[in-house]
């Protein structure tokens, strides 16, 4: 029986009947997640595929876990599920800069990843090689981050475990996520896209594309996706109606103002010097 079949079968059992075989299967899943050989979502023809059995395995770990004391950090004391301690080691070439960051077990960090303090990478997350996770950034559960991405200070990538078929946040290769940005609810940031500081992407927003004179939004068939190379900034649109117009009311909306060119690339080249 494959690991996915074992996880599916164990997930269907009541918690009281789970024993050593469940912990063994969960440990194999967690090891695979940390090694990057198992992913909660992965590229597929025409987009991304969610591996629901992986999310079931992560949830299984919470059902199996017992709350126990964790290693102290100075005068503070912590407790968490024993199935999800903070990682005690990372592969050679990964930099975890001292100062209060935490990477939960079951998260993958690729070669050359840099994590600046304080930052947090949650279970099921996949952070590919050469990516910078800057101070106060969050990589939520099952979020998928590509190669040479920069998550600037205060950037938030939302996490998702349930429903198990829900697409997690995806940030593709060489994207730049500006300071205090938030990407949530299964939004996809395409390769080499740039989110200017303060951009918020959720399942309900409409992104207006000025250069291409179109808009992008989530539908029943597909998630919200920022096109490859798009440069997005915070914008607003006027509210219709007498009261709204009389009071000059508007709503936040992200706006694509251009597509990435040599000038934009030069503005982001400083990142290489910081590595």
Distance CA 165, CA 121 (A): 21
Close Cβ partners of 88 (under 8 Å, ≥ 6 residues apart):
none
Distance CA 90, CA 179 (A): 26
Lookup result for tokens 């009947």: 17
Q: What's residue 270's pLDDT?
A: 53
Give all domains of the chain, ordered by start, each with its CATH number. 87-274 (2.160.10.10)
Q: What's residue 80's pLDDT?
A: 86
Q: What's residue 76's pLDDT?
A: 63
Distance CA 122, CA 87 (A): 10
Q: Which residues pair with 73 in a beta bridge?
A: 76
Distance CA 154, CA 179 (A): 5
Asked if residues 89 and 108 have their Cβ atoms less than 8 Å apart, the reply is no
Mean pLDDT computed over every residue of the chain: 92
Q: Phi, psi at residue 172, to the nearest 5°?
A: -85, 175
Q: Phi, psi at residue 215, to the nearest 5°?
A: -140, 160
Distance CA 254, CA 194 (A): 12
Count of C-beta atoms within a 10 Å radius of residue 36: 16
Q: What's residue 89's pLDDT?
A: 85
Asked if residues 226 and 187 have their Cβ atoms less than 8 Å apart, the reply is yes
pLDDT in tens, 230-247: 999 999 999 999 999 999
Q: Please give the helix or strand (H or E) that residue 243 lies within, else none.
A: helix 242-246
Q: Which of 146, 147, 142, 145 is nearest to 165 (CA)?
A: 142
Q: Per residue in 251-267, is it b (16+ CB within 10 Å) or e — as a string?
A: eeebbbeebbeeeeeee
pLDDT in tens, 118-171: 999 999 999 999 999 999 999 999 999 999 999 999 999 999 999 999 999 999
> Within the chain, which residues score under 70 in pLDDT?
72-76, 266-275
Distance CA 102, CA 241 (A): 48
């Amino acid at each position: 029986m494959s690991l996915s079949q074992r996880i599916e079968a164990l997930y269907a059992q009541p918690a009281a009947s789970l024993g050593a075989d469940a912990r063994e299967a969960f440990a194999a899943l967690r090891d695979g997640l940390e090694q990057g050989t198992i992913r909660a979502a992965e590229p597929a023809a025409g987009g991304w595929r969610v591996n629901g059995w992986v999310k079931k395995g992560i949830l299984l770990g919470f059902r199996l876990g017992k709350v126990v004391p964790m290693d102290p950090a100075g005068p503070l004391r912590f407790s968490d599920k024993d199935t999800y301690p903070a990682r005690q080691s990372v592969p050679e070439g990964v930099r975890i800069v001292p100062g209060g960051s935490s990477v939960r077990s079951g998260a993958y960090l690729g070669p050359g990843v840099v994590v600046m303090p304080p930052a947090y990478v949650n279970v099921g997350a996949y952070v590919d090689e050469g990516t910078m996770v800057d101070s106060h950034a969050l990589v939520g559960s099952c979020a998928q981050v590509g190669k040479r991405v920069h998550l600037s200070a205060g950037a938030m990538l939302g996490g998702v475990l349930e429903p198990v078929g829900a697409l997690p946040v995806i940030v593709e290769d060489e994207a730049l996520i500006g300071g205090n940005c938030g990407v949530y609810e299964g939004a996809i940031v395409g390769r080499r896209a740039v989110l200017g500081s303060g951009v918020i992407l959720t399942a309900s927003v409409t992104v207006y594309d000025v250069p291409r004179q179109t808009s992008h939004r989530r539908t029943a068939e597909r998630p919200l996706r920022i096109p490859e190379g798009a440069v997005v900034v915070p914008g607003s649109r006027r509210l219709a109606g007498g009261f709204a117009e009389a009071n000059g009311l508007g709503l936040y909306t992200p706006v694509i103002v251009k597509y990435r060119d040599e000038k934009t690339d030069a503005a982001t080249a400083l990142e290489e010097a910081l590595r």
